[in-house]
A and B are shown apart, each in its own frame.
Chain A
Amino acid sequence: MSITEWLAWLEASPVGRVATESLWGFPILVAVHIMGLTVSVGTIVWFDLRLLGVALRGCPVTDVYRRLIPWATAGFLVMVVSGGWLFVGYATSAYVNIAFRIKIAAIVLAGVNALAYHRLTERHVREWDALVRLPLPARMAGLVSIALWVTAILAGRMMSYTMF
Chain B
Amino acid sequence: MDALFQWAEGTSLAQFIARSAAVTGLLSGVHLVGLTLVVGGALVSGLRLLGVAFAEWPVRDVTGTMDRGMTLGMSLSVATGALLVSPRISSASGNGIFQLKMLLLAAAAGFYFAVYRPVMRGAEAGPVARRATGAAGLVLWLGVALAGCAFILLE
Contacts and interface: CB of A to CB of B under 8 A. Distances in A.
Interface of A: 26-27, 30-31, 34-35, 37-39, 41-46, 49, 54-59, 63-64, 67-68, 71, 99, 150, 153-158, 160-162
B62 A59 contact: yes
Given A37-B36, A57-B65, A154 B43 contact: no
A161 B39 contact: no
B150 interface: yes
Given A43-B40, A67-B47, A56 B29 contact: no
Contact of B65 (A55, A154, A162): A55
**Shortest beta-carbon contacts, A-B, top 3:** A42-B40, A58-B61, A154-B29
A50 B84 CA distance: 32
Interface SS of chain B: helix, strand, loop or mixed? helix
B53 to A, nearest CB: 4
Given A27-B154, A156-B29, A49 B43 contact: no
B61 A57 contact: yes
5 contacts: A35-B142, A42-B38, A42-B43, A58-B60, A58-B61
B145 A38 contact: yes
Given A42-B36, A58-B60, 11 more contacts: A27-B154, A31-B150, A38-B39, A38-B40, A42-B37, A58-B58, A64-B54, A67-B53, A68-B53, A99-B25, A161-B22
A41 B40 contact: yes
Interface in B54-70: 54, 57-58, 60-62, 64-66, 68-69
Given A38-B35, A38-B40, A55-B65, A157 B145 contact: no
Interface of B: 21-22, 24-26, 28-33, 35-41, 43-44, 47, 53-54, 57-58, 60-62, 64-66, 68-69, 142, 145-146, 149-150, 153-154
Contact of A160 (B25, B54, B57, B150): B25
A64 to B, nearest CB: 8
Contacts of B30: 154
A60 to B, nearest CB: 9
Given A31-B150, A153-B33, A161 B28 contact: yes
Nearest to B64: A58
Contacts of A155: 29
B28 A45 contact: no
A43 B44 contact: yes
Contacts of A38: 35-36, 39-40, 145
B47 A56 contact: no
Contacts of B32: 34, 37, 153, 156-157
Given A54-B69, A56-B44, A153-B36, A31 B153 contact: yes
Contact of B29 (A46, A49, A55, A153): A153
A30 B148 CA distance: 11
Given A38-B39, A46-B41, A59-B54, A26 B153 contact: yes
B54 A63 contact: yes
